Structures are given as C-alpha cells and as structure tokens.
Amino acid sequence: MQNSFNLVQAGAVIQQRWKTIAAITVITALVAAITVFLVPRYFRSTATVVSANPLLADKARLFNNNIQGLYSYFGSGDDLDRITGIADMDTTYKKLVDEFGLIDYYRLSGDSISLLRRKAVLKLRKDLSFQRTDQGQLKIVVWTKQQQLSANIVNRMVSLITETETAIWQNSYSQSLSQLDATIADMQQQYRQLADSMPSMNGAAHELAAVRQQTLLEQLKQYQKAADEFRLAAQTRPAALYVLEPATPAAKAERPAKLEIILAAAAAGFVFACFLLLLNNRNRSV
C-alpha cells in the first residue's frame, strides 16, 4: 500500500475538506484578532543624536585661534560608544525610574523600595534600546503604553547624558582650578614673607631675595593666567552631543501590529489545517 501522497492526492483531499480548512483558518484568525485587541498597545518614541567632539572642551581652544580651526564639531565612533556607555548606566536608569514614577507605571509592589527600583530598571531596559546607524548616529528608542511618556523618557535620557558628560569635564577643570588657586595662595604668602624680610637684609642676601621676589612675580602672573583660563573654560560649556531629531509622541500605537498578526495567524491556521487533514487521511490509508 502506498504510504505517501502525491500532489494530485493532496489536492483532492484539500478540495474535499475545504470547509474544514476554511473553518480552522477563520477560527485561528478570530482568536488572533481577539487577542491583539485585548493586549495593551505600545507607543514608540525615538531621538536621534550624534556625538560632539570632546576636544571642544580643551581650554586651549578658547585662547588660540589657530587651534580652533583644528577641531571638528562632530566626534568619532569611539565618542558615540562613550555616549552609549553613559546612557546605559544603572545610575541613568534609576533617575528615569524615580523621575517618571515607573514603579507605579509597571505596577510593582510587595518588596522594598530598592528592590522595586531594581525591577523597574530591568523592565525599562527591555523597553529601551540603542541603535547605531551607518551614518554615525545613535537612535534612542523607548516603547511604553503612554504616548507622551515614551517621548518624555527619551528626551530626558538625552539630557541626562549631556548633564553627566558635562559634569565630568567640569569636575576635572574645577579640580585643576582648585590646585592652581592653592598654589597661587602659597606663592603669594611666600612673596609677602620675602617682602617683609628684605628690609633687614643687605649685600648678597638682599640681591638673592630680590631675584627670588622677581621670579615669584613672574610665576604668579603665569599661574594666575592659567587659573583665569581654567575658570573661563569651566564656565564655557561645549556641547556633549547634538540632537538631530528630538523624540515626539507617536501618532498611533505600533505594537501589536494587528493586521500583520491576524494575517500571519490565518496563514498558520491554513497550513496547520491542511497538514492535519493530510496526515489524518494518510493514517486512514495505511
């Protein structure tokens, strides 16, 4: 006895049982339709950014016209990696969780606040993604059940990246400035002590003190100039990144893709029904 169907036999079985196949296909599509209309809708918001050149934070750029022309306004791929690294820190996610009340948004309860924050961070990580383009751009994408919330989270993420990176180089300038101010104060103290003691000196000692006094004055001028440059650089904030496209609320929900899911379910139901009927007919023929 023949144990397999050829195309003619398969076509005959499908033609004979088309009502059953159609019923299974329709039922599958209906179940899928009911399901997609019951599940929550998700809205997507996206911001597109590019990295600024971190060398723009160099204080020499502000005081040397020749150096200014050497710096590009845009950073490299490594700079884009740095931005992604800052954005992907737990600290950044925790700030977003706290500012937007995401513990309540995700309906988390029953644990300590620290554990609830951690759970909210993990859920937010699933809803937020970073996508690098071939044009050296970074897309920050967030999916939430609320149109405005998605846009707000993305835009706040961008501002947190800017604040964090700006704070890093400003802190570096502030530390250097504090060290310079301490050195200047020490040199000023030395100069005053030397000036007070010079009237009692004579001969070679007085000449050496005068040379030391002049040296201190020249050094003080140089250190004071450097301190002024650091102070101005700390007050002048170059961009950490450039926002090419800020996030805006989505016009409509993009998840679930209702039509695509229903069509895919109907196709799967049709294939399954055909396979089931052919397998059943084959078993009867054996």
Q: Distance of CA 253 to CAs 40, 226, 247, Å?
A: 10, 55, 15
Predicted local distance difference test score (pLDDT) of residue 229: 78
Predicted local distance difference test score (pLDDT) of residue 227: 84
Predicted local distance difference test score (pLDDT) of residue 97: 96
Residue boundaries of the structural domains of the chain: 1-39+259-286, 40-255
pTM for the model: 0.68
Predicted local distance difference test score (pLDDT) of residue 158: 94
What is the distance between the terminal CA atoms of the chain, rounded to a whole angstrom?
Answer: 7
Residue 1 has pLDDT above 60, yes or no: no
- Contact indicator for 240, 52 with CB cutoff of 8 Å: yes
- Contact indicator for 155, 243 with CB cutoff of 8 Å: no
Q: Distance of CA 222 to CAs 32, 40, 59, 188, 208, Å?
A: 76, 65, 15, 13, 21
Residue 152 has pLDDT above 90, yes or no: yes
179-201, pLDDT tens digit by residue?
888 999 998 998 888 888 888 88
Give the angle subtended at the CA of 242 by the CAs of 82 and 126, to the nearest 5°. 55
Model confidence band, residue 3 (pLDDT cutoffs 50, 70, 90): very low
DSSP structure string for 229-249: HHHHHHHS---SEEEEE----
Nearest to 207, CA basis, from 216, 197, 198, 215: 198
Model confidence band, residue 32 (pLDDT cutoffs 50, 70, 90): confident
Model confidence band, residue 60 (pLDDT cutoffs 50, 70, 90): low
Predicted local distance difference test score (pLDDT) of residue 48: 95
Please give the average per-residue pLDDT across 40-69, as a whole number: 74
Model confidence band, residue 63 (pLDDT cutoffs 50, 70, 90): low
Q: Look up residue 136 and give its amino acid.
A: G
Q: Count, in order, helices (H) and strands (E) of the chain.
A: 11, 4
Predicted local distance difference test score (pLDDT) of residue 160: 94
40-255 folds as Bacterial polysaccharide co-polymerase-like (3.30.1890)
Residue 129 has pLDDT above 80, yes or no: yes
Model confidence band, residue 138 (pLDDT cutoffs 50, 70, 90): very high
Please give the average per-residue pLDDT across 163-177, as a whole number: 82
Residue 16 has pLDDT above 80, yes or no: no
Model confidence band, residue 98 (pLDDT cutoffs 50, 70, 90): very high
